[in-house]
Amino acid sequence: MMTSSISSTPRGKANQIETSETCRSGTRGATPTSTTSIYTSFDDLTNCYDDSSNIDAIIEELNSQVHSNENWRVHFDAIESLRVLNKYYSNETRIHLSKLIPFLQRSLESLRSNLSKNTLMLIKEVFQYYRYSHTSDNFLDEILPIILEKAVSEKGFLKNEAKAALKALEKTGCNNNVVQVLCNKSFDKNGIISEVSFQSLTEIIQEAKENLTDKISQEYIGVLFSTIAKSIDGKRAVNKRMAKNLCEQLKDIFSENGTDFELFLKEKLKIKESEIKIISEALKKNSKCTKPDFSCFIKTKKLKQESDKSSNIPFTLIAINLKKQ
């Protein structure tokens, strides 16, 4: 029978961090700096549980301990346990993720950078095997915006891990809830978060391609096109360019059976007339233009270089149509 005690929590990692940071700073309790040796890689996570029959009790106990104990080392070990559970009992674990939202939020925002990074590693691993039916809506509503904020962190090792989590989600996360969150964050006051959000949204839609209608409901395809229209009409050159390119690709998908695209937007998706006009005019301009928009090319190239520089995992931008609007 599966033990419900967290005595089987992978121990020693948090203590190793404490020792490591003491050696570096000379002061016990100083904010630790990032090293790679104190984190367990996904491949090295070993199963210390017997089966999946008692997942609920284990997660309840973990949740109880982290709420009653403010020691960051206890929290780090709890994240390590969740990483093990997610690896070996992913479906059963994700059912209970909503119970852990407050704890995960605190850990992501922790001033202890090592705790924040380990939590980002957990989220990345959850996203790698993400299935919408096994994860509650509010988990994404509460956690994904924080991941986007961490993706523009000044701390490179946190930024890298957050971007890796986004890349994992881009491969598996095409569904209503993800689209809604990314559409909302595409208009974030922070310009970099806005661009990263729209970039991830574009990658997710392109990954789904012709299977888009199987993964996203008609209502949220409407939300997507409204976001595209607002981005085309917006002031952010990078988002504007990506939106036009994405719109062209979606037009090809939804018009392939002879469907009138504007009629589809109006009668099926019921988006605003003003938004339909923006989309239609943008498509017409793209079909007529011949001269490259060099300034937008430079800005997009800089965004990609910044992303590549700060991440070991390529953060691929969408293919960009360099024709002038």
d(CA 148, CA 163): 8
**What pLDDT, on the 0 to 100 scale, is given for residue 302?**
59
d(CA 48, CA 9): 8
Q: Is the pLDDT of residue 177 over 70?
A: yes
Relative orientation angle of helices 13-25 and 72-88, to the nearest 10 degrees? 140
Average the pLDDT over 125-146 and give the result. 77
Give the tens place of pLDDT for each residue, 289-324.
544 455 555 555 555 565 555 444 443 444 434 344
**What pLDDT, on the 0 to 100 scale, is given for residue 311?**
47
Which residues is 292 bridged to in the sheet?
Answer: 323
Give the tens place of pLDDT for each residue, 185-207.
999 999 999 999 999 999 999 99
**In terms of pLDDT, which residue wins out, 223 or 25?**
223
Mean pLDDT of the chain: 81
Least confident of 15-24, 59-68, 248-257, 275-284: 15-24
CB-based contacts of 39: which residues, under 8 Å, 6+ apart? Answer: 13, 114, 117, 118, 121
Average the pLDDT over 130-147 and give the result. 75
Q: Is the pLDDT of residue 179 over 80?
A: yes
Q: Say how far residue 232 (Cα) sits from the centre of its chain.
A: 23
What are the boundaries of each domain within the chain? 1-124, 174-325
- Is 63 within 8 Å of 99 (Cβ atoms)? yes
Give the tens place of pLDDT for each residue, 97-118.
888 999 999 999 999 999 999 9
> Which spans in 95-236 are helix H?
101-108, 113-128, 137-150, 156-172, 176-185, 191-208, 212-215, 218-232
| Portion of the chain with pLDDT greater than 70, in percent | 74
Q: Is the pLDDT of residue 279 over 90?
A: yes
Q: Is the pLDDT of residue 3 over 70?
A: no
Tokens 């018009």 appear where?
Answer: 255
Q: Is the pLDDT of residue 49 over 50?
A: yes
Least confident of 43-52, 99-108, 151-160, 162-171: 43-52
Least confident of 67-71, 209-213, 292-296: 292-296
3-state DSSP call for residue 292?
A: strand
For residue 78, with 0-12 CB atoms within 10 Å meaning exposed, 13-18 middle and 19 or more buried, which class applies? buried
**In terms of pLDDT, which residue wins out, 27 or 39?**
39
Q: Is the pLDDT of residue 258 over 90?
A: no
Least confident of 132-141, 151-160, 180-189, 273-282: 132-141
